[in-house]
Amino acid sequence: MSFTSTATQKTSIHQFQIKALDSEKTIDFGDFAGKKILVVNVASKCGFTNQYEELEQLYQTYKDKLVVVGFPCNQFLNQEPGSERDIATFCSTTYGVTFPMTTKVEVKGNDAHAIYQWLTRKEFNGKDDYKISWNFNKFLLDEEGKLLDHFGTRTRPMDEEITAYLR
């Protein structure tokens, strides 16, 4: 598997930027320094899509110390087939999502976005190797942009495993 030089040169998620969903704006992870960050690969037509509700609840409850960032991905059974505008509309009207969302990306394989290459490889993140096998995997990063923990699809956003880090 080849990796982009972008992933190999970064020591913190704060060094990454990505285009925001349905906008010309850029999400600069450096702007989140001093807060924890929860990165989640999301999809609109998944059995776990209702986690958007808890992701928004988590974001609103802890927004003084946490930023949630959703990464739409269509790599798992075509469960995010819509355009970026469709995704943005669905998230805001169905779940009231206000947390930042990125452009649609790949989260695994040779074409995985550099952020996901960094998150899933111990050689880059300094913590461990992680395999993303489905939607709604969660990566929690500390205030300095270093990886704290990874949570699988079945870990709900408001689960004690996650909220314990935010108290």
57 φ/ψ angles, rounded to the nearest 5 degrees: -60, -45
In three-state secondary structure terms, 16 is: coil
73 a catalytic residue: no
In DSSP terms, 28 is beta-bridged to: 17
Task: Check 39, 43, 46, 97 and give the catalytic one.
Answer: 46
Contacts 24+ apart (CB under 8 A), 123-132: 123/8, 124/3, 124/7, 124/8, 124/10, 132/41, 132/107, 132/108
Closest CA to 37 of 63, 68, 16: 68
- Cα(28)–Cα(57) distance, rounded to whole angstroms? 23
Query: Active-site positions?
Result: 46
